[in-house]
């Protein structure tokens, strides 16, 4: 997709996020920094900062196949990790139990709110024992599949936000 097309779709992601944010109470949101053609979270990040919400970015821990989450401010310095994904340079970590919502990138999803990611299993491993944290997949509507592809280790999304709608069980 062209950068202009991604930006147009991202406008719609922000509109859907604003609708979604009226449905739930939250103060701390973990958001991925967009990579390749993933649904762009940049406008959502900006919106969250304007609303004085705590914004976190994932930090990959390869040795444990898990994610940690570090605070991200508009002035934070970022650098690319070994997967070429941006992470905060100064890492002030937040306990996973203190995260209200996690925005999760999707390569594909289905109506059961199961998702497929890039295949590393980082989100599945990190949130295999989640408590009250809401997992929210972010995907383009054309990434919806009719297939049932969930595996035993996959964590279920609580919501999926596309540029067109908010899906929930």
Return the minimum-mean-pLDDT range out of 57-66, 133-142, 158-167: 57-66
157 Ramachandran zone, left/alpha/beta (phi>0; psi -120 to 50): beta
Any idea what the CATH number is for the domain that residue 90 is in?
3.40.50.10420
The more confident residue out of 71 and 12 is 71
How far CA 91 is from CA of 48, 72, 81, in Å, comes to 19, 9, 13
- What is residue 22's predicted lDDT score, i.e. its pLDDT? 93
pTM of the model: 0.90
- What is residue 148's predicted lDDT score, i.e. its pLDDT? 72
- What is residue 74's predicted lDDT score, i.e. its pLDDT? 93
pLDDT tens digits along 114-157:
888 776 788 888 888 867 899 999 999 988 988 777 777 778 89
CA distance 87 to 71: 10
CA distance 7 to 26: 26
- What is residue 25's predicted lDDT score, i.e. its pLDDT? 93
DSSP assignment, residue 144? B
Please list, in sequence order, all residues whose beta carbon lies within 8 angstroms of the beta carbon of residue 107, skipping any fewer than 6 positions away: 115, 116, 117, 118, 143
Task: Give how many domains the chain has, as a whole number.
Answer: 1
CA distance 157 to 162: 13
- What is residue 62's predicted lDDT score, i.e. its pLDDT? 67
Domain that holds residue 102: 3-168
């Amino acid at each position: 997709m062209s950068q202009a097309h991604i930006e147009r779709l991202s406008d719609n992601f922000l509109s859907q996020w604003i609708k979604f944010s009226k449905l739930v109470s939250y103060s701390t949101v973990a958001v991925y920094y967009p990579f390749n053609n993933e649904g762009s979270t940049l406008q959502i990040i900006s919106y969250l900062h304007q609303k004085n919400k705590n914004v976190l970015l994932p930090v990959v821990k390869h040795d444990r196949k898990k994610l940690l989450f570090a605070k991200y401010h508009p002035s934070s310095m970022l650098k690319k990790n070994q997967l070429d994904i941006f992470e905060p340079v100064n890492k002030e970590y937040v306990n996973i139990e203190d995260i209200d919502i996690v925005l999760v990138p999707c390569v594909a999803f289905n109506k059961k709110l199961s998702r497929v990611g890039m295949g590393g299993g980082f989100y599945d491993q990190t949130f295999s024992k989640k408590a009250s944290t809401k997992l929210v997949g972010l995907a383009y509507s054309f990434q919806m599949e009719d297939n049932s592809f969930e595996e035993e280790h996959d964590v279920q999304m609580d919501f999926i936000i596309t540029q067109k709608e908010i899906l929930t069980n």
